[in-house]
């Protein structure tokens, strides 16, 4: 079993050892977005191959029933299986569905397992041992599909109960001892599949946390928690390409803390670090989720505003400037910042943008600081 004592310092990030899920619903949702995005190709192949194989069983269906009405009903059931699989495949291709893809998968499994049991009911004289083996394969297949562990177990239990009811309501096919033996094998398959999936889902979530933390460390500033210069450079290059191709505006803002050296000299570097962290927090509360905010270096921050012209950027920058000016920093009091703002032009490169915005920031400093200069 997973180690129940394995905990992270932040409780919502802990993985529940009994359900293999994160305590934080948002984190669980992010995990599924990552997982279904990563396994999209595997899932598409799995669903496509399963639908094709299931439909091909129409050949033995015809050999058994010929043109009887039952064959037409089997055809409809198998066609329905293919239809449900195709709908699930299409849903998997849409990124917007990834956060709730486990619901689609649960619906897919539930409907198709019900479909499978309905097919078995038409084979009144079928070999129950072969049918039992096929049910075992279905149960193990349920645990191969990425899903919440509890949901997969629920579906597998429902399959066992349904098939048990089918055996019990078909008198004369098997003795009570034979039915009990088949059910025992089904339960063993359930236990093995459930235990294997529980360990796998638990381990994958721990690995996801580790990978996400490592990735975050490579793109964030260790002190302030905002993005670092490398991440900003990469995103700036990407937005330049987007703006060049689609002619959409974006603005670049450079922020410099006024008299920062004096703060360090007077109050110490820890106080200076507190100012950097505090300003990063204040700016982060004023910007949109799509905006990119990073520590550019030393006491400078950079802000990229997609789909934003220079005038709008200046309004936002002045609001941020006022918020910072009003804030009282412990032991230090009020701190101000200067802002340089520029908008992307078709001929711009990352270098030309920063040369221009740096010049505008220098003008703001020369004009007495605590002001916004755009150009």
What confidence score (pLDDT) does residue 143 get? Answer: 96
**What is the rounded CA–CA span in Å between residue 176 and residue 323?**
77
pLDDT of residue 297: 85
- Using the predicted structure, report yes or no on whether residue 282 has a pLDDT greater than 80: yes
Query: 323 to each of 42, 185, 319, 327, how far by Cα in Å?
Result: 49, 67, 6, 6
- pLDDT band of residue 319 (cuts 50, 70, 90) is very high
Token pair 């920093």 in the structure block, residue? 329
Q: What is the pLDDT of residue 188?
A: 97
Contacts of 196 by beta carbon, 8 Å cutoff, 6+ apart: 143
Q: 334-354: b or e for each residue (b if 16 or more CB lie within 10 Å)?
A: ebebbbbbbbbeeebeeeebb
pLDDT for residue 262 is more than 50: yes
Question: What's the mean pLDDT in 310-338?
Answer: 92
pLDDT tens-place string over residues 83-100: 999 999 999 888 888 888
| pLDDT over 90 at 331, yes or no | no
The pTM of the whole model exceeds 0.85: no
11 or 267, higher pLDDT? 267
User: CA 93, CA 37: separation in Å to the nearest integer?
Assistant: 9
pLDDT of residue 144: 93
* Cα–Cα distance for residue pair 141/48, rounded to 1 Å: 14
Q: What is the pLDDT of residue 7?
A: 40
The mean per-residue pLDDT over the stretch 242-250 comes to: 84
Question: Residue 12 — pLDDT band, cuts 50, 70, 90?
Answer: low
């Amino acid at each position: 079993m997973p180690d129940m004592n394995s905990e992270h310092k932040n409780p919502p990030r802990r993985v529940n050892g009994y359900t293999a899920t994160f305590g934080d619903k948002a984190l669980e949702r992010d995990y599924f977005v990552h997982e279904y995005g990563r396994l999209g190709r595997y899932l598409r192949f799995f669903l496509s191959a399963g639908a094709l194989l299931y439909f091909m069983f129409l050949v033995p269906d015809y050999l058994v029933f010929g043109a009887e009405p039952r064959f037409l009903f089997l055809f409809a059931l198998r066609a329905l299986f293919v239809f449900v699989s195709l709908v699930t495949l299409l849903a998997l291709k849409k990124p917007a569905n990834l956060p709730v893809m486990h619901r689609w998968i649960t619906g897919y499994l539930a409907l198709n397992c019900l479909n499978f049991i309905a097919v078995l009911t038409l084979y009144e004289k079928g070999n129950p041992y072969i049918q039992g083996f096929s049910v075992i394969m279905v149960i193990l297949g349920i645990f191969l599909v990425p899903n919440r562990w509890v949901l997969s177990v629920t579906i597998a239990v429902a399959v066992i109960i349904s098939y048990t009811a089918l055996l019990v309501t078909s008198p004369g096919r098997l003795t009570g001892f034979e039915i009990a033996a088949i059910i025992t094998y089904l339960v063993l398959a359930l236990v093995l599949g459930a235990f294997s999936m529980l360990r796998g889902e638990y381990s994958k979530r721990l690995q996801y946390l580790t990978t996400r933390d490592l990735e975050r460390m490579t793109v964030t500033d260790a002190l302030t928690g905002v993005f670092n210069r490398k991440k900003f450079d990469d995103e700036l290059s990407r937005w330049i390409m987007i703006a060049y191709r689609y002619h959409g505006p974006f603005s670049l803002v450079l922020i410099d803390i006024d008299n920062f050296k004096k703060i360090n000299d007077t109050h110490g570097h820890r106080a200076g670090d507190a100012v950097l962290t505090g300003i990063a927090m204040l700016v982060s509360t004023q910007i949109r989720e799509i905006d990119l905010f990073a520590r550019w270096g030393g006491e400078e921050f950079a802000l990229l505003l997609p789909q934003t012209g220079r005038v709008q950027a200046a309004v936002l920058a002045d609001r941020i400037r006022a918020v910072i000016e009003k804030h009282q920093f412990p032991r230090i009091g009020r701190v101000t910042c200067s802002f340089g703002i520029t908008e992307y032009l078709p001929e711009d490169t990352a270098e030309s943008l920063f040369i221009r915005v740096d010049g505008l920031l220098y003008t703001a400093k020369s004009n007495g600081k605590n002001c916004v200069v755009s150009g």
